[in-house]
Amino acid sequence: MAKQDEVVFGIHAINELIKRSPERFIELFLLKGREDERLMPIINLSKKYGIPAQMVNRKVLDDKTKGEQHQGVVARITQGKNYTEADLDVILSAAEKKGQAPFLLILDGVTDPHNLGACLRNADAAGVQAIIVPKDNAARLTATVRKVAVGAAETVPLVQVTNLARTMKQLQQMGVWIIGTAGETDTCLYDITLNGPMALVMGAEGKGMRRLTREHCDQLVKLPMAGSISSLNVSVATGICLFEIVRQRLTL
């Protein structure tokens, strides 16, 4: 595989990607003997766009995905676009033209690819325009992330920034209100107004946000926890917070 190529696997991830960017596909590998109703849409799309497809045994697919759950389909594609700070203005300008207020998700120190994939899926469902992550010490867009995101990796830009605190300050200067989640605050998520230009910051499980990130938040909030466990999985907490923002926006 060439250095600029990527491997993608999973039915939903490949199906969504082939619909949106068929030109990126170099070749498909499909499990021999499996031509069921779940794989047929991918097979038909590959024929429609002239994408070379091979029927291979399970070991070939297992080797290509290093043992990950590939669901009987693997693709080799050209490398996608890497979003940077320069793209944020374009993303927000496009949202403004649609009459949408900024709605962003910032992940600080989230390194687990399964959590990033789940956060992408949450973000897509909630209508988030982009996820912002630091360039260092953060999960990247990998085949595992794409599979967990079930297509959302193709709809929500993942913007990598070199200085997260500086980016947050720039967003504030644009009128974006930044809220961060922190267990030590007394303010509950459900007690504040969340219906304007908004960015939600979620920190890594256990450590939470870094000090500088926390200091650049306009407001810190927490989720009410009634049980003995002190925190939720970051993707679960992200979904709860995002949809509280959605709920308040819908009731305007």
Determine whether 17 is exposed, middle or buried from the number of CB atoms within 10 Å of its CB (0-12, 13-18, 19+).
buried
Say whether 116 counts as a known binding-site residue.
Answer: no
Say whether 28 counts as a known binding-site residue.
Answer: no
Closest CA to 41 of 12, 79, 70, 63: 12
Q: Which amino acid is at 138?
A: A
Euclidean distance between the first and final Cα of the chain, in Å? 51
Q: Which amino acid is at 216?
A: H
Place of tokens 């070749």: 27
Q: What angle do CA 116, 20, 100 make, to 5 degrees?
A: 65
Which residue blocks in 142-192 are alpha helix, DSSP H? 143-149, 164-173
Q: What are phi and psi of 98, to 5 degrees?
A: -90, 0
Residues making up the annotated binding site are 203, 223, 232
Residues making up the annotated binding site for S-adenosyl-L-methionine are 203, 223, 232
